[in-house]
């Protein structure tokens, strides 16, 4: 099999932990001898073992006393450079050196300053052959949340909304009126479990009274983020229930009441999108879905603080309403979801 085949297998393994490893990257490792996979593993949960030790342990579990000799003949494939620093776990590069692997093939170099070539250097200094850059673009996109947090000091920002066939986003009187269908709603709940947080504004919290949970899917509930400058959202609303941690950005107080965290910010009418993005970075929130309303979405669009937009377009039209935000990005794909069309845009203005 080709190097690309095994790196793709690393990605398949790593994807199993999409909901559990943030703010770490998703990493898989495959160990091969003479064209045969003898062990594989992935980083399953933040704070626990990384992909490389899990793969090496799998070799010992399968081969017992033969494992040491097999590892000396082996090539390890990993989609991200093995770490070279002590964090919550020991350096993975040291482990590969300890077992004297013959070769290590890597997808991406790790942009984190504690690694960033140091893992590769350790391996090469120990006489291990290293090849990097295999499926580099694919691996980078796969870990786009991690790369964005490290390189831009902000989370990966996903904008999401639904609009009518004739471009309306919400009713003029502010009352809730569903645009997309049941399948789109279920998919949106799946997305919630895949990202760290959801962000809405005060008007959406009051008018729609959303729960922002994954109740129509399985998985973890995201952190709920609400922009409520003057603390006007009633505490009886769903976002104040115990289903998930909720953070309220406001100008009045900083406090913690059970699962509700109030974070005071100054001058929220200036540079709000930038302030929110940096605050989330400081909190190790690696990805966020912004569901609006229109004012919040437009603030992130106008400051070019977004990476991906997911837009459902209904087959129905309204006679009037609030116009949808205008998106200027690279249309990546369109998919039919029931009676709705899903358009996914990527921000190519970096």
Task: Please check if 291 is assigned to a binding site.
Answer: yes
* pLDDT for 18: 93
- Residue with the bigger pLDDT between 83 and 292: it is 83
* pLDDT for 313: 97
Task: Please check if 92 is assigned to a binding site.
Answer: yes
SS3 assignment for 84-108: CCCCCCCCHHHHHHHCCCCEEEEEE
Task: Please check if 139 is assigned to a binding site.
Answer: no
Q: Which CATH architecture best describes the domain 155-346?
A: 3-Layer(aba) Sandwich (3.40)
From the CB of residue 66, how many other CB atoms can be counted at a distance below 10 Å? 12
Please provide residue 17's backbone torsions phi and psi, each rounded to the nearest 5 degrees.
-110, 20
List active site positions: 52
Task: Please check if 178 is assigned to a binding site.
Answer: yes
* CA pair distance 157, 278, nearest whole angstrom: 12
* pLDDT for 45: 94
Task: Please check if 224 is assigned to a binding site.
Answer: no
Task: Please check if 29 is assigned to a binding site.
Answer: no
In tens, the pLDDT along 275-317 reads 999 999 999 999 999 997 889 999 999 999 999 999 999 999 9
- Size (the chain), residues: 350
Average pLDDT of span 26-42? 97
- Rg from Cα positions in the chain: 23
Q: Which one of 1.25.40.10, 3.40.109.10, 3.40.140.10, 3.90.950.10 gives the CATH number of domain 3-148?
A: 3.40.140.10
Token couple for 226 = 């609400």
Asked if 190 and 284 touch (Cβ cutoff 8 Å), the reply is no
Task: Please check if 236 is assigned to a binding site.
Answer: no
Average pLDDT of span 197-217? 94
Q: Could you check whether 3-148 and 155-346 share the same CATH topology?
A: no
Average pLDDT of span 326-343? 95
Asked if 319 and 162 touch (Cβ cutoff 8 Å), the reply is no
Q: Considering Cα of 221, then 195, then 272, then 332, what sign does the dihedral take?
A: negative
Q: Give the mean pLDDT of the chain.
A: 94
Give the side-chain half-sphere CA count within 13 A for 262.
Answer: 17
* pLDDT for 350: 55
Task: Please check if 238 is assigned to a binding site.
Answer: no
* pLDDT for 114: 76
Q: Is the pLDDT of residue 35 over 80?
A: yes
- Cis peptide preceding 293, ω within 30 of 0: yes
Percent of the chain clearing pLDDT 90 (strictly above): 88
In tens, the pLDDT along 151-179 reads 999 999 999 999 999 999 988 887 788 89
pTM: 0.93
* CA pair distance 286, 199, nearest whole angstrom: 13
Average pLDDT of span 1-8? 95
Q: Tokens 């279920």, residue?
A: 186
Cα 314 to Cα 26, 169, 204, 209, 291, distances in angstroms: 34, 10, 20, 22, 17
- The domains of the chain are located at 3-148, 155-346
Q: Is the pLDDT of residue 343 over 80?
A: yes
* pLDDT for 89: 73
* CA pair distance 27, 110, nearest whole angstrom: 11
Percent of the chain clearing pLDDT 70 (strictly above): 98
Task: Please check if 269 is assigned to a binding site.
Answer: no
Task: Please check if 19 is assigned to a binding site.
Answer: no
Token couple for 207 = 């008018």
Strand partners, 342: 312, 335
In tens, the pLDDT along 87-127 reads 677 889 999 999 999 999 999 999 987 788 899 999 999 99
Task: Please check if 40 is assigned to a binding site.
Answer: no
């Amino acid at each position: 099999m080709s190097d690309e085949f095994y790196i793709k297998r690393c990605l398949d393994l790593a994807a199993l932990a999409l909901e559990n490893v943030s703010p770490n990257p998703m990493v898989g490792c495959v160990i091969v001898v003479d064209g045969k996979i003898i062990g594989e593993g992935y980083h399953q949960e933040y704070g626990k073992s990384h992909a490389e030790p899990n793969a090496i342990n799998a070799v010992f579990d399968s081969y017992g006393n033969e494992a040491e000799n097999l590892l000396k003949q082996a090539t390890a494939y990993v989609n991200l450079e093995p770490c070279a620093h002590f964090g919550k776990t020991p350096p993975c590069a040291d482990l590969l050196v300890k077992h004297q692997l013959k070769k290590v093939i890597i997808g991406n170099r790790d942009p984190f300053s504690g690694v960033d070539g140091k893992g590769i250097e350790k391996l090469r200094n120990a006489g291990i052959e290293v090849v990097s850059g295999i499926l580099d673009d694919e691996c980078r996109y796969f870990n786009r949340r991690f790369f964005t947090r490290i390189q831009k000091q902000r989370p990966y920002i996903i904008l999401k909304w639904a609009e009518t066939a004739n471009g309306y986003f919400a009713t003029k009187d502010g009352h809730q009126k569903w645009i997309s269908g049941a399948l789109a709603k279920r998919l949106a709940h799946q997305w919630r479990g895949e990202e760290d947080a959801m962000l809405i504004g005060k008007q959406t919290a009051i008018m729609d009274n959303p729960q922002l949970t994954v109740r129509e899917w399985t998985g973890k509930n995201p952190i709920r983020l609400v922009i409520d400058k003057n603390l006007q959202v009633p505490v009886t609303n769903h976002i104040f229930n115990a289903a998930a941690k909720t953070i309220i950005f406001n100008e009045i107080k900083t406090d913690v009441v059970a699962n509700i965290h109030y974070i005071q910010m100054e001058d929220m009418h200036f540079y709000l999108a930038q302030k929110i993005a940096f605050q989330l970075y400081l909190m190790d929130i690696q990805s966020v879905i912004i569901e609006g309303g229109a004012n919040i979405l437009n603030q992130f669009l106008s400051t070019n603080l977004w990476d991906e937009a997911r837009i459902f377009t209904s087959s129905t039209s309204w006679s009037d309403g609030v116009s949808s935000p205008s998106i200027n990005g690279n249309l990546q794909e369109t998919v039919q979801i029931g009676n709705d069309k899903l358009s996914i845009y990527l921000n190519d203005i970096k």
